[in-house]
Amino acid sequence: MGSSQVQGELWSARAREWAELQEGSFRPLYEAAFAAAGVGRGSTVLDVGCGAGLALQIAQARGATGSGLDAAAGLAAIARQRCPGSDIRLGDSETLPFPDASFDVTTGFNSFQYAADPVRALAEARRVTRPNGCVVIAVWGERERCQLAPYLAAVGRLLPPPPPGAPGPFALSAPGALEALAEPAGLRPEAARTVTTSMRFADEATALRGLLASGAVERAIRTSGEDMVRGGIAEAIRPGRQSDGSYVFANEWRFLVSRV
């Protein structure tokens, strides 16, 4: 099975929880990226790895026409409900089913790095974007500025051992790393920026429901069992507990705007 079939199945498992409990926290990242890429009235935007479609909803609210593609049928179905009139396809970021130069702006919010060959996925993003249009790549910021880093580490310990040298979640977070990925894809890097977002959950049960909803966690559950994963995550997120019992995590994101 290719990366998109494997990832799509994993990311579909708890699509509703992702959409309702995690995705909303990324709103400031989407807004900052669309502002930096000049998305406004009349823009055409493709969101690669569009998930449940909140970024596309935000692009539409700015006056853009949105299209999306994701590997996960469960997430794409939610995106279609949320973005009526948008062209949302199921597919693989490495083979985008759109003609050359179709969009003003192509974005990938935490998605290009899931491709088996991220440079190929970025070359595809470049192909479907018009000359002088923008491609935006967004990934986790630096580990020290991500309060969910212990959660990611706990999940990593419950996954099958990665092949030697396999990139971890922060592999693209250092200054210059996104540029080093974009250039071989034929993109011209411009501004790299960081945005800090805040993820909030009302209580521990809700935090666990939300934080179980990702492809990596689903793979950890299938490897180590749900009880182990719940226990590991509950311990890792304890520092985020507030005096009222809610959980809050501030996380940095890095995004790069490149020209085609």
Ligand X SMILES: C[S@@+](CC[C@H](N)C(=O)[O-])C[C@H]1O[C@@H](n2cnc3c(N)ncnc32)[C@H](O)[C@@H]1O
Q: Please report, as residue ranges, which positions from 138 to 197 form the binding site for ligand X (by CB under 6 A).
A: none
From the list 13, 26, 182, 201, which residue makes contact with ligand X (rule: CB under 6 A)?
26
For residue 111, state whether it binds ligand X (rule: CB under 6 A): yes
Q: Distance between CA 5 and CA 167 in Å, rounded?
A: 20
From the list 60, 67, 86, 93, which residue makes contact with ligand X (rule: CB under 6 A)?
93
Give the range of 57-65, 106-114, 189-197, 231-239 binding ligand X by CB under 6 A.
Answer: 106-114
Q: Which two tokens stand for residue 83?
A: 């973005």
Q: Distance between CA 52 and CA 68 in Å, rounded?
A: 10
Q: Distance between CA 107 and CA 93 in Å, rounded?
A: 11
For 99, half-sphere exposure in the C-beta direction (CA atoms, 13 angstrom radius) is: 1
For residue 253, state whether it binds ligand X (rule: CB under 6 A): no
Q: Distance between CA 252 and CA 148 in Å, rounded?
A: 10
Give the range of 6-14, 33-41, 96-104, 231-239 binding ligand X by CB under 6 A.
Answer: 6-14
φ/ψ region of 106 (left if φ > 0, alpha if ψ in -120 to 50, else beta) reads beta
Q: Measured from the CB atom, is 168 or 245 closer to ligand X? A: 168
Give the range of 79-87, 110-118, 174-182, 222-230 binding ligand X by CB under 6 A.
Answer: 110-118
Cβ distance 119 to 181 under 8 Å? yes
Q: Distance between CA 97 and CA 128 in Å, rounded?
A: 9
Q: Measured from the CB atom, is 115 or 212 closer to ligand X? A: 115
From the list 17, 92, 124, 252, which residue makes contact with ligand X (rule: CB under 6 A)?
92
Q: Which residues bind ligand X (CB under 6 A)?
A: 3-4, 7-8, 11, 23, 26, 49-51, 55, 70-72, 75, 92-93, 109-111, 114-115
